[in-house]
Structures are given as C-alpha cells and as structure tokens.
C-alpha cells in the first residue's frame, strides 16, 4: 500500500469509528464558522476536498473563514468566481499556492466545486504551546569547548512578538547596552506584525509583545544574561545561542491566539525576507489540533516551503500528552494517562523538527523525566513517528515583559524571587523579579532546539536543514522510561545533547531527506518504522547505513537499542511504544478501532480535535509547570 492509500485507509477507519461522536469534533469551528449553523455538510465537493473540520462543520448564513489551495494561480477570472459566491480574499499566500478568504458558510460546497480549487481548510485559531537550566541542554559546554554563541545567525520567532528593549537581547557591548536603553542596539534586527488592533487595523511595525510568550521564547533562544550578570548575581540566565540575532514575526495577539491565515502570512514573510535578514532557523511554539493529513494541511505546507527554502524549522509537539484532567493513582504517565496520537500541527509534518518537553528532577540530568503534558506520537491520521527529539521545557526561566498577559496570569504565580539569582536584593520592597519569570510547555522546549540549530550553523554555515535534523537526532541521548523501556513516540530520538551534536559528522547527501518515518503494523502485531519510497524517495536517509555507520543497526542508532526489537527495524508495539504489555496495539492505533476509535487509548475529542484551535497554551500547567 502506498502512503496516500494508507492515509486514505486510516481516514476511512477514523470516520467509521467516530460517526457517533461527530458532535464532539470541535477543531476551532467557532473561529471559522458562525454559531447559528444547522445542517451538517457531508456530501458533494466539500466532503471530497474539505478537511475533517469542514466535513463536520455546520452550514448556515454566517461567515466562514477558510484557506483555499489552488490549482494554478489566482487569475482575475477565478477571483471573480470567488466573489460571485460572496467570497472576500483576506490573505494572498502564493508561496503555498493558496488564498485565505471569508464567505457565507452556505457557499462552501460551491466553492469546493470550483475546478481550480484543490483543497479547502478551516482557517481556525492557533495558540501557543506553553532558572533556564543550561545543565540539561549542555549549551554551556558548547560555549566553553567550542566558543559558539550563535553570533551572526538569525532565528525567526513566529509568535506573539518580541519586546526588543529587553536587556538580554541587546548587542553584547557596553555601547550596545546603552543604545538598547535609548531604543537601538537590539539584536532583534527586523520584524513584522500581522495582528489587527482593537479597531481592526494592522500596523506592520507593531511587533511588541503584549502576551509575553514570544519574548520568553526569544530569551530561551538568544538571551545573553546581561540582566543577571555581575558580582551581585548567583546565577546568570543564558539562552542557548546567546548572541544570535532575532526576527520578531507577530502572529498571535495578547491572549496568545491567532488565525491559521495570519500564521501563514508570517511564514510567507519569513521566506521572502530570508536572504535580507540571513534567517537560518525558524521557531514555531504554537499549533492547533490535527484536522487533515499533512499533505493538505496549510500550516504543514507552509513549514515545508520554509524547510525547502533552506530554513531549519523547529516546532513544539503540543501540550496534550495527558488523557485525564485529574491525576489519579498509577504509574501511567504519573497517573495522568498517556495520550498517544496527540501531536499538533504543524509538528505533525515529517520535514520539521518536532520537540517534546522534559522536566528536571534535580541537578542531575540522568533522572530527568518526560513532562506529563508533552504530546505523544504517532501523528493522527498519517501515523508518522513523532516527536523527533525532547529538550528541557518545564518551569523554564526566561525573559519577562512587565504588564503582559502572562506576566499577570494566575496572580503572578509564575514570578521568581529575586533571591533565586541575587546574593543581595538592593531593590527596596521588591521581592520578585520583573525581568525574568517561569513558563512551561513544549513551547519552551522548541526554542532550546532552535538555539542548538543556530549553534550548529555557526559552526558550519553550509549545513542543510536535513543534516541539522539528522545530527541532532543521531546524537541525542537515548532515553528510557522508569521501567527501562524506550518509547520513541514519547522521547523521539532521545534527549537533546548539544556537544554531541556539534561533534557529529553525519551529512545528508544532496537529494536525500531526514523526514520522520512512518509507523506501520505487520500481521504479527509488531510496529515497523518504515520509509515509503513513493513518499520519501529512494534515498531517504534513515535506512542508509552509510549515514549511520556500518557497525550499527540503522534504526538503533537513532531511537536507541531498547526501542528497537530484534535485528531489524521492528518495534514491539505493546512495550516499546505504549509501555504497557496489556494494551493491544491493534486497539491502540491500527485495525478497525483506529487511534480515535471508541475503544482506543486516545479519546478523539482530545487527541485529534482538542478543545480549541491553533495558538499558545495559557493553562495553569503552562504557566506554573509541574513538579
């Protein structure tokens, strides 16, 4: 079976398994469709060309916001046909041959029937995926041993904006710091805003961060610790690539939310300005529940376009790794239950580097654990093995924006005492820092890896995105759970190890790809890590011993010996992936009860659709983390 047939088969199984629960499927329908809708659109062109969210949408007189993939360009004649349906174009997205538009919901089926329309996706809502622990990422070793700071490499942060006056984001000189105080000298060298203000106007220059999420992410990537450096400080909060340049692409509002089309506009801007700003890395600490195969998902197509343009794209896996809303007794994900199949878009795309979150237990890296909220693979529908790697993401200390939404959330419970990093508090009456605070989530783990990519590119500017991905994955510490079992759907290739990645000499040949592999089940119930040549090409690298060395089994080098059974690429589904010998793999992921089936380990309304669309996580867990 080729990859497309496999995807179509999985899609048919999922629809059979969940028709009775269609009312629960809520992939941000409120953001794209009016509340007064009545009859479901299940037939005709929309059913054939629409994503699953639109297939379950209700039609009516209210407006719908959609993203339309075109077969060819948008000619005046085609634009007139769209206008005749009541459609108004809100974003032109030529880099993925698409447009975003609004039109009456009743016109959706007729829109899909137009011969030049390839696919229609809901323009849902995206959200963020919410003492920086350099010891767990080992970036301090990277600086001490290699002298690498990221200087000269530019990382685009597509998020809620960046507060460019932050002291830790200035040029690393006294003159630069003084210039920063006067409004210049920032290492945020460029930026653009796509978010409308309260009056509906979009000021492209309004890139300041009203949410606080993007600045926190930027500090993890490139904060230089200037505001916590000196004899009065007991510790300094460095970012991973502490002298890298940044580009602020604001696509999320003060609440950490935005539309898919706004994010697409931001990604298109990054690709268009890649050469001017020397953008080498792009961080996306945001996402939305998977509503379609990555082949059609507009966000996935956009990150692929950036990747193919030569930009390393790093995405948060998502914070949907828990099944239960209340912690119970038991060892399964510390009593929360493990929500397999909960990777968010665009982290479900096989090109990009998808990052899960780890949490530190104490000063030793060896006893670090996966954060219970970190989303697990495989990806819904496509069954791609994700995440690719894990990195520190729990209770991360980074830059605060005073007065921002996250600064004041939950009564400031994420603020840190000044005593955390100062020997002597000279600020009379002040007990907490107004420069740094804590956030948690895969949103915080993703920029750790983005910073690592910047260091690799400083070491060798000619590395391709695929080589960067391969080096990070093959060099990662192969991690196991408390029972000593590997779980690639939780840890991916393992725990980020920056010094080991810098020592790696793996090179992906031109024309080869480091795409995340597919998982398929054989007749004996084992799960194969498979590379489909019809999709990945005959030179996809994971099966190449020339890449990994002749003295090791190909896949053991990446995912670890405890995760790969036997001498081949087989995973024992009941143990290596799920960590529970009593769980039937055919019930958990494949067969007549697909990953979102009625008896599956994953609840459809949580893992596939979620309770909201794309954006960032403002939950108490994202603010305060977990112990």
In a domain, 195, yes or no: yes
| Same domain flag for 148 and 98 | no
Residue 10 lies in a domain: no
Domain end point (choices 55, 88, 123): 123
pLDDT tens per residue across span 290-299: 989 999 999 9
Give 37 or 505, the one with higher predicted confidence.
505
Mean pLDDT of 22-38: 29
Q: Give the count of beta carbons closer than 10 Å to the beta carbon of residue 2.
A: 11
Cα 302 to Cα 90, 98, 167, 316, 449: the distances in Å are 17, 10, 33, 16, 20
Instruction: Give the confidence band of 150 by pLDDT, cuts at 50, 70, 90.
Output: confident
Residue 150 lies in a domain: yes
Same domain, 221 and 80: no
- CA pair distance 606, 376, nearest whole angstrom: 12
The structure's pTM equals 0.81
Same domain, 186 and 314: yes
**Structural domain of 192:** 128-466
The strand pairing partners of 128, in sequence order, are 286
CATH of the domain at 337: 3.40.50.200
498 inside domain: no
Note the pLDDT of residue 475: 87
> In this model, does residue 537 exceed pLDDT 80?
no
Are 270 and 193 contacting, i.e. CB atoms less than 8 angstroms apart?
A: no
Q: Does the CA dihedral 263-266-272-275 come out positive or negative? A: negative
The pairs formed by 170-178 with CB atoms below 8 angstroms and a separation of 24 or more are: 170/224, 170/226, 172/224, 172/226, 172/242, 172/243, 177/226
pLDDT tier at 551, thresholds 50, 70, 90: very low
Report the pLDDT value the prediction gives residue 377, as an integer from 0 to 100.
Answer: 92
Render pLDDT for 266-278 as a digit per residue (tens, 0 to 9): 999 999 999 999 9
Report the DSSP pairing between strands 117-122 and 63-70. antiparallel
Among residues 102, 123, 144, the one where a domain terminates is: 123
| Mean pLDDT, residues 116-143 | 66
Number of folded domains that form the chain = 2
Per DSSP, 575 falls in state I
- Better-predicted residue by pLDDT, 12 or 333: 333
- The verdict on 234 and 186 lying in the same domain is yes
Boundary residue ending a domain (123, 157, 189): 123
What pLDDT sits at residue 8? 37
Instruction: Let me know whether 372 and 247 are in one domain.
Output: yes
Look at residue 24 and tell me if it is in a domain: no
- If pLDDT is split at 50, 70 and 90, which confidence band does 564 have? very low
31-40, 510-519, 541-550, range with greatest mean pLDDT:
510-519
Query: In terms of domains, do 152 and 69 share one?
Result: no
Same domain, 112 and 95: yes
- CATH assignment of the domain containing 84: 3.30.70.80
**What pLDDT, on the 0 to 100 scale, is given for residue 604?**
30
CA distances from 494 to 22, 218, 474, 557 (A): 36, 24, 9, 11
Q: What pLDDT sits at residue 295?
A: 93
The more confidently predicted of residues 195 and 33 is: 195
Do 394 and 250 belong together in one domain? yes
- Work out the pLDDT band at 427, boundaries 50, 70, 90: low
**Could you tell me if 142 and 237 lie in one domain?**
yes
Pair (115, 136) in one structural domain: no
Catalytic residues: 159, 213, 443
Averaged pLDDT for residues 218-237: 91
Verify that 108 and 135 share a domain, yes or no: no
Looking at the structure, do residues 132 and 108 belong to the same domain, yes or no? no
Do strands 188-193 and 117-122 pair parallel, antiparallel, or not at all (unpaired)? unpaired
**Secondary structure of 437-503 in the HEC alphabet?**
EEECCHHHHHHHHHHHHHHHHHHCCCCCHHHHHHHHHHHCECCCCCCCCCCHHHHCCCECCHHHHHH
pLDDT given for residue 531 in this prediction: 60
**φ, ψ for residue 257 (rounded to 5)?**
-130, 155
Q: Who wins on pLDDT, 502 or 532?
A: 502
Q: What angle do CA 182, 185, 186 make, to 5 degrees?
A: 105
């Amino acid at each position: 079976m080729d990859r497309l047939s496999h995807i179509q088969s999985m899609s048919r199984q999922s629809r059979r398994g969940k028709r009775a629960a269609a009312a629960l499927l809520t992939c941000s329908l409120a953001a794209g469709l009016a509340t007064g809708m009545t009859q479901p659109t299940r037939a005709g062109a929309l059913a054939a060309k629409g994503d699953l969210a639109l297939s379950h949408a209700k039609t009516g007189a209210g407006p719908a916001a959609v993203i339309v993939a075109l077969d060819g360009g948008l000619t005046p004649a085609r634009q007139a046909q769209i206008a005749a349906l009541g459609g108004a174009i809100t974003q032109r997205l030529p880099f993925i041959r698409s447009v975003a538009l609004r039109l009456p919901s009743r016109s959706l089926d007729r829109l899909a029937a137009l011969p030049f329309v390839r696919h229609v996706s809901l323009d849902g809502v995206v959200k963020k995926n919410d003492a920086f622990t350099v010891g767990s990422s080992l970036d301090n070793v990277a600086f001490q041993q290699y002298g690498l700071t990221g200087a000269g490499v530019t990382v685009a942060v597509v998020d809620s904006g960046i507060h460019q006056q932050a002291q830790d984001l200035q040029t690393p000189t006294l003159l630069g710091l003084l210039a920063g105080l006067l409004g210049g000298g920032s290492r945020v060298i460029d930026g653009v805003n796509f978010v409308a203000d309260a009056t509906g106007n979009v000021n492209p220059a309004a890139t300041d961060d009203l949410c606080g999420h993007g600045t926190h992410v930027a500090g993890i990537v490139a904060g230089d610790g200037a505001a916590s450096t000196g004899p009065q400080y007991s510790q300094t909060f460095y970012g991973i690539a502490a002298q890298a340049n940044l580009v602020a692409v604001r696509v999320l509002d003060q609440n950490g939310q935005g539309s898919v089309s706004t994010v697409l506009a931001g990604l298109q801007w990054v690709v268009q300005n890649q050469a001017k700003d020397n953008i080498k890395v792009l961080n996306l600490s945001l996402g939305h529940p998977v509503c379609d195969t990555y082949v059609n998902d507009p966000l996935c197509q956009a990150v692929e376009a950036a990747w193919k343009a030569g930009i390393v794209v790093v995405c948060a896996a998502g914070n949907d790794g828990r099944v239960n809303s209340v912690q119970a007794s038991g060892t399964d994900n510390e009593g929360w239950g493990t929500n397999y199949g909960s990777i968010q878009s665009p982290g479900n795309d096989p090109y990009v580097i998808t990052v899960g979150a780890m949490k530190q237990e104490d000063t030793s890296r060896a006893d670090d654990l996966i954060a219970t909220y970190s989303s697990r693979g495989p990806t819904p529908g496509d069954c791609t093995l994700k995440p690719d790697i894990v990195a520190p993401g729990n209770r991360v200390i980074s830059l605060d924006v005073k007065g921002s939404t996250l600064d004041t959330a939950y009564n400031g419970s994420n603020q840190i005492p000044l005593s955390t990093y100062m020997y002597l508090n000279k600020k009379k009456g002040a007990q907490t820092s107004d420069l740094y605070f804590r956030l948690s989530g895969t949103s915080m783990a993703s920029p750790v890896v983005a910073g690592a990519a910047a260091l690799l590119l400083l070491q060798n500017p000619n590395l391709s995105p695929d080589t960067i991905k391969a080096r990070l994955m093959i060099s990662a510490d192969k991690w196991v759970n408390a029972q000593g079992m590997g779980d690639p759907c939780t840890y991916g290739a393992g725990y980020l190890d920056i010094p080991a990645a810098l020592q790696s000499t793996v090179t992906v040949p031109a024309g080869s790809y480091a795409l995340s592999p597919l998982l398929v089940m054989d007749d004996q119930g084992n799960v194969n890590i498979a590379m489909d040549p019809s999709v990945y090409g005959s030179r996809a690298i994971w099966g190449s011993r020339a890449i990994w060395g002749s003295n090791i089994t190909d896949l053991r080098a990446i995912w670890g010996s405890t995760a790969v059974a036997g001498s081949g690429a087989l995973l024992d589904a009941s143990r290596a992936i799920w960590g529970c010998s009593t769980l039937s793999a055919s019930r958990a992921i494949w067969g007549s009860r697909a990953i979102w089936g009625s008896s599956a380990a994953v609840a459809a309304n949580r893992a596939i659709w979620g309770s909201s669309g794309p954006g960032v996580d403002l939950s108490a867990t994202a603010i305060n983390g977990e112990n």
